[in-house]
Structure 1
Amino acid sequence: MYFAALLARTEDGWEASDTELDDVEALSDLTDLARDASVDEDTVLVYIEQEDAWFGVVRVDGEEDPRIYVSDAAAAARSSYGEILLTDELLGREPGAEDEIAALEELVGLDSTEDDDPEFGHEDGATAPPAGAADQDDDPEAVPAGPIGDASILADLGLSERALLTLRTDALTEIADALGADEVLESVR
């Protein structure tokens, strides 16, 4: 079960609205959604959670690039909405590198083995290493478990980096409380 909400800062405090993510396919769509909810290009927070698995916060301040925090990258990677937040930049990958590697492997037919390499045993009858034997650090597509992104995303709004890193379940309530937006949030939850 997913829940998504927008919190837009105004002169009078915060305005909250729940939001549907059905038409959101990329981070740019989510950023546009936040900017549309913005009042005078002020701060907008997009909160997404998958019940008891992970949550993410995207902060959009006017025309600046969005800032992102995800509580558990590995769990979010298994979610269609989580994948939207896990950009190449956030994961420390070169943009488009994954597509280039896949295209090259398809073109050349590489499977990470050599026909005459005794380590993989194709010519001498030995067996290949067991599946999953490679270290996760060797896998450029591996997504780290645990928090990823800008942990100070809400620090200037009242929620310290340390407090954000300790949130697990019901994080939105804690975030809204720190922002002073708990009452407006209850109206959409």
Structure 2
Amino acid sequence: MSGKSFKSPVYHVIGVPVEKVVANTYNPNKVAPPEMKLLYDSIKEDGYTMPIVCYYAKSRDVYVIVDGFHRYQIMLNYPDIYERENGILPVSVIDKPLSKRMASTIRHNRARGSHDVDLMSNIIRELHEIGRSDAWISKHLGMEKDEILRLKQITGLAALFRDTEFGEAWKPADEEQEEASKEETAGNGEIPK
């Protein structure tokens, strides 16, 4: 994309009734009550300074949140904010397939805070189920391979390990080799184990 033809979505912010905005099913970001109160205070004092990033689902005529779920929740949970804003949220629309929207959500969240590990594991599982490789996840979600492996382990699904190469694990020696090893160790003054 050249700088002349690409225009960031933030330059096309639109006002959308909060009733037409819906949460996605995969956001792993959690905000503790004190931070939610701080977010409320911030929006109360400064207004909405950042748009909610959404994907427009034409078939359902709704805006699915990619980033900004907690800002959206503030409007739903605080009548004073809803009334002041006339129930309208500032929305910046991106048009990407689901896997790329998931990646966008993770990038936005990772740049700001922490994630719920179980939800992150579910995202890794969903991305693998739709055919995304560990390399794709690493590149698009900014994760190291060992982090992806840990998240896969949490789900416990063997299918997630299809792209993983494992080294040789410890193998038990046969009885003859074990006995020979013990005799060698005993012969050089070491105590057998």
Say yes or no: TM over 0.5.
Answer: no
Structure number with bigger Rg: 2
State TM-score, norm by structure 2.
0.25
* Greater share of strand: 1
State TM-score, norm by structure 1.
0.26
